[in-house]
Amino acid sequence: MAPVNQKSALRSAEYDPVRGAATLALTTFESGGVSLEDSLLHSRELVRFDERDARFFKLLVSGVVKLKRRLDYQLKFYLSRPSEKLAPKLQNILRLGLFQLQRVDRVPAAAVVNESVKLARYFFGDPKARMVNAILRSYLRDPDKAIFPDPEDDSARYLAEFYSYPDYFVSYCLKEFGFEKSAKLLDSMNGAPNLTLRVNLIKVKAPEIEQALKKAEVEFIAGAFLDEFYVLPDTPVSKISDLLEKGKVYVQDQSAGMAVRLLNPRPGMTLCDLAAAPGGKTTYAASRMRGKGKITALDKSRRRLEVLVDNCKRMGVKMVAPVACDAINFESPERFERVIVDPPCSGWGTAAKHPDLRWLKTENDIKQMNKIQRKMLEKGASLLKPGGILVYSTCTIMRSENDQIVEEFLLKNKEFELESADSFFDSSVISGRGFVKTFPNIPYVDGGFAARIKRKPN
């Protein structure tokens, strides 16, 4: 069969261009060398979507990437030859069809099958189109044909196949949380993420934002942990574009904001953020400081620092001094009253928002990050004044990146002590050691960690 021109194919009237673009994005991503974000952008450049189609496109791609292990496991039960290796594009057409039948209620089953068949016919011809039709209709007749591993015999394999996660992460969850809690946690990260925004108190007060959201007919829920945060369930960013452009709000999860609240920066203080870009924690700290004081914002990426500077300008933050520098090599003649250490991490608290994370991060990646995390904590501590406060925070739920890093540091550095978070937050998110720990199965919050460390006065 002659090669298909991608651009003309996606504009073909022979099938739905949204599903065609989703097929292309998935296949491009799986071919390697291209991030999921780049695959999404490339596919969208080939077709002009309106807002509704763009949301459907993202739902399809994100959903299939998250659930591909489960979908592939189920599909084998409907193939005439279960061991048959399918062409990547054909496999993604089947994944998309099965995903829609299972997870997209608003699309009739007949339409899902029909559109999947059209895709297969265009890219592969009638024989494969008939195959796709047979598989999806077989699923509709017998949706429970796939038999998952018995959780009593092999709980790890059951959770990995049923909820679609890598083996090492499932094994960790079982060891850390047990079966029931692990199942709830894994299930929660397969759902659609919520949009959360923070009010920029330098420019506006919370009641003004509430009125603006009501006027735009945007549903919102007040943050359970931070009073200037609002959760916007099932809301596209475009709905709040005006508020974002004017710097009145910033998209930020409560779990990230909790690290800043735990740091408790006050007006007039000096603060250093060791991994500041794109500026979420930096600008929140500036907001808590009422724009008074000085924040030194480090990042080794100049491009990301430019984003931080743009965010500061838009939000009216004038107290930030950006520094393009690897935090570990940063030298300063002054010591700071507050330090934020937010090192690179596996991101396992944000898997709902980053569909490809579960397939990209490996155990070895985490071990390599542990080395950087230790070095950054040591560097941050060296920059802290006696009596000053440092907060170490991540967006992961892995103990080796959180508790273990902090406990090892405290054992080696007796001039520092842990301060409990119990005076800042409800006990439901505080561990026995006084760490802030949130998990994705808590409503409207990502998973995250924060520890408040004080340098003892001389």
Dihedral pair phi/psi, residue 410, rounded to 5°: -65, -35
Structure-block tokens of residue 119: 């895709």
Buried b (16+ CB within 10 A) or exposed e, 383-414: bbbeebbbbbbbbbbbebbbbebbeebeeeee
Distance CA 98, CA 68 (A): 10
In the set 173, 272, 345, 395, the catalytic residue is: 395
Residues 6+ away with beta carbon under 8 Å from 96? 19, 22, 23, 26, 60, 64, 116, 119
Query: What's the mean pLDDT when you consider all of the chain?
Result: 94
Residue 4 pLDDT = 45
When comparing pLDDT for 5 and 153, which is higher?
Answer: 153
Span 396-402, average pLDDT: 98
- The pLDDT-based confidence of 10 (bands split at 50, 70, 90) is very low
255 token code pair: 């779990």
User: Cβ of 237: how many Cβ atoms within 10 Å?
Assistant: 11
| Band of residue 409 on the pLDDT scale cut at 50, 70, 90 | very high
Q: What 3-state DSSP class applies to 75?
A: helix
pLDDT tens per residue across span 78-88: 998 888 899 99
Bridging pattern class, strands 249-251 and 229-232? unpaired
Domains in the chain: ranges and CATH = 6-141 (1.10.940.10), 155-188 (no CATH), 254-455 (3.40.50.150)
Using the predicted structure, report yes or no on whether residue 34 has a pLDDT greater than 80. Answer: no
Provide mean pLDDT across the span 264-288: 97
Instruction: Return the higher-pLDDT residue of 38 and 317.
Output: 317
Instruction: Quote the pTM value.
Output: 0.93
One DSSP character per residue, 242-265 reads HHHHTTSEEE--HHHHHHHHHH--
Per the annotation, the verdict on 395 as an active-site residue is yes
Looking at residue 33, its pLDDT comes to 65
Which residue type, as a one-letter code, is found at position 55?
Answer: R
Q: Answer whether residue 1 shows pLDDT above 80.
A: no
Residue-level pLDDT at 2: 39
- Residue 334 CB contacts under 8 Å (≥ 6 apart), including other chains: 270
What integer is the mean pLDDT of 166-193? 97
For 94-132, how does the pLDDT look when each residue is reduced to its tens digit (9 = 90+)? 999 999 999 999 999 999 999 999 999 999 999 999 999
Q: How many residues does the chain have?
A: 458
Does the pLDDT value for residue 9 go beyond 50? no
Distance between first and last Cα of the chain: 77
Q: What is the largest CA-CA distance in the chain?
A: 80
CA–CA gap between residue 303 and residue 319 (Å, rounded):
20
Quote the pLDDT of residue 46.
Answer: 67
- Model pLDDT for residues 206-219, shown as the tens digit of each residue: 999 999 999 999 99
